Structure 1
Amino acid sequence: MTEKSDVKIAVVICTIGRPAVLAETLKWLARQTRPANRLVIVAHSDADLPNPDVLGCYPQLQVILSEKGLTRQRNRGLEAVEKDADIVFFMDDDYWPVATALAALEDVFQSHPDVTGVTGALLADGIGDGGVPPERAEALIRQSESDCQRMLRARDREVPSLYGCNMAYRTSAIRGLRFDETLPLYGWQEDVDFSRRVPGRKMQAGALDGVHLGTITGRETQGTALGYSQVANVAYLIRKGSVDPVSGLGQVLRNVLANHARIFWPEPWIDRRARARGNWRGMVDLVRGKCHPEHVQRYIKPVYLPLK
């Protein structure tokens, strides 16, 4: 951008147990042609953070320590920036943006005054297939940055909710709103719940390219808990009214079928048997009228959980 903008953008990254992953993401964020006015990292402890030399490269950076849990951490970040930012951009610690991402984000909000939330078009998403290798992610980003026609091919479109790996909001539209801390730990579906409570139009912006690496940190160790949340969180959000019953039940059914179909041929990084076990425990609680997201705590082992 040739002129300094009066729009203030704050980037909030929540992380736990992945300092090396976060360090790489910060390198890509440092490439922005339009820098963030503030960068807030919300971690659980100092052990979650990269080397101090890495953090020292970002004079606008603030570190906040919080209780574990994605919704809690996002709320602490939001509370830190909502009074002095016009736009809040939530990024996962393994989301790599193109160099013009923040500039594109500002342009979308200025061009569409009625839009209150924006999510980016993903060049790749590794959350469902074991993760995008860093070298492939870099190649995709470099290609996108060199392709002057990408904005014409990837047109903006309206969406009902935003994807939590990269989602931005006007602070004027979310002032007073908070992520639902009833959804603990990785907060399954917390992004859908929050974005559907925000008034106004939401948009996927074609120019806001990026790669969600979906970084896998070894074999899944909390499959039962995740399987329970796949049932309990959606049931809770249906009762709450932020998820449509038909689409919510369809999502539960797809997750349950996927977990059971792959019990004997699971992906190396997913414990499908444990997820299926959690699904059944969630459905039993649902029938008994005792299904609640916070009951997932019964199935948590004392280890760090990836947020996504």
Structure 2
Amino acid sequence: MRLVVVIATFGRKEQLARLLDHLERQERLPDEVIVSVPDETHVQLHETDRFPVSLVLGRSGLCAQRNQALEQASGRFDVVTFFDDDFIPQDDYLRLLEQAFQEHQDWAVVMGHVVKDGARTAGLRFEEGLQILAAERAQPPVELKITDHIGAYGCNMSIRAKLIGELRFDERLVLYGWQEDIDFTSQLRRFGRVVGLSTLRGVHLGLKAGRVSGERFGYSQIVNPIYLIRKGTVPASFALRLVIRNIGANILRSIWPEPYVDRRGRLRGNLTALAHVMMGRIEPEYIQSIAPSEAK
């Protein structure tokens, strides 16, 4: 099988360079890595003789950048793997992934298990991620568990390329996207299973640099799920749980917010979004009208 790794990145060129270095340790090397960035200021050129690295320049925003990479990859690969620039895969990740797709022709999308997710905390340093993976390797092998999902977690997800066709990420989910991964991969369930594998291991650092502001993110927390319900790609039961959980967390924690989360900004975004929804205004791209501030 031919396997490409796609990395869409923005404002994290040092992190990107470290990830590319780390990918050289894969037991099964990628046949190519495609890096998608708005322009060359977001990337530090990387030289390796272990796999080719190609650069795609163009529109900014996670969905737009991933779409540009898909155009570059079209027709050339059997598996397309998306890694966030702050996801660190275990060294056997791509080998086990290829094996999984070869042995299960009814699988459309495969995602791995995030051993530790810094997106839920203040974030992790690269060195911490490597230490966590080293500790994992010292443990007995993990028992394989296969779990079906509505959609995949975008920090590490892989798709059988022939099923993608003309499907693309929804560019109305602008900037950071949020739920763009579920929207995209849930549409592939009509072709096969969307599964998570316990044996595919990695650490998501959850870096805060390059993300949108608290108020913008808070707006997306409400409007994006509602938009996807109307679009028909996400069940209302799934999306409304997200909305309720996010509003509840932001209300409760805005009293004593975590230092690494702008809870009050998120709550302001939530309230603006709720007002828009009540008026029938479902516009994910509205976040571009919200003044940017420090991202948390």
Does structure 1 conserve the Cα–Cα contact (< 8 Å) formed by 2:121 and 2:260? no
Q: Match for 2:86 among 89, 94, 103?
A: 94
* 2:69 pairs with 1:77: yes
- Separation (CA, whole Å) in 2 of partners of 1:293 and 1:116: 27
Distance across 2 between alignment mates of 1:143 and 1:212: 15
| Equivalent pairs, count | 293
Shift of 1:82: 2.2
Aligned to 2:183: 193
Q: Which runs of 4+ in 1 moved over 6 A?
A: none
| CA deviation string 1:124-168 (max 9, x = no partner) | 111011112333311221132343422x2x422222211000000
**What's the Cα RMSD here?**
1.8
Structure 2 residue matching 1:207: 3-state secondary structure? strand
The residue correspondences of 1:86-125 to structure 2 (distance < 5 A) are 86-125=78-117
Please list the CA deviations of residues 92-151 of structure 1 after superposition, one character each: whole Å capped at 9, or x if unmatched.
00000011111011000011110010000111111011112333311221132343422x
Q: Which residue of 2 aligns with 1:4?
A: none
Aligned to 1:28: 22
Mapped to 1, the partners of 2:240 and 2:293 lie a distance apart of 31
| Residue pairs, 1:214-225, within 5 angstroms | 214-217=206-209, 222-225=213-216
List aligned pairs for 1:152-163, cutoff 5 A: 152=143, 154-163=144-153
Aligned equivalents of 2:213 and 2:288: distance in 1?
11
- Tell me the CA shift for residue 300 of structure 1: 4.0
Question: For 1:296 and 1:134, how far apart are their aligned partners in 2?
Answer: 30
Q: Conserved in 2, the CA contact under 8 Å of 1:10 and 1:85?
A: yes
Structure 1: give runs of 5+ residues left out of the alignment.
Answer: 1-6
Select 2:119's aligned residue among 127, 137, 151. 127
TM-score normalised according to structure 1 size: 0.91
- What CA deviation, in whole Å up to 9, does each residue of 1:202-252 have, x standing for no partner? 11122211101101239x771111111111111100001111112211110
1:268-287 Cα distance to aligned partner (Å, 9 max, x none): 12211111001000000000
Aligned equivalents of 1:221, 1:157: Cα separation in 2? 31
Contact 1:10–1:36, Cα closer than 8 Å, also in 2: yes
Match of 1:261 among 225, 228, 252: 252
**Separation in structure 1 between the aligned mates of residue 120 and residue 138 of structure 2, nearest angstrom:** 27
- Unaligned regions of 5+ residues in structure 2, if any? none
In structure 2, what is the Cα distance between the partners aligned to 1:104 and 1:257? 39
What residue in structure 2 maps to residue 3 of structure 1?
none
Counterpart contact for 1:108–1:205, Cα < 8 Å = no
Query: C-alpha separation between the residues in 1 aligned to 2:77 and 2:262?
Result: 41
| Structure 1 Cα separation of the partners of residues 36 and 150 of structure 2 | 27
CA contact (8 A) 2:11 2:209 kept: no
Q: C-alpha separation between the residues in 2 aligned to 1:302 and 1:225?
A: 9
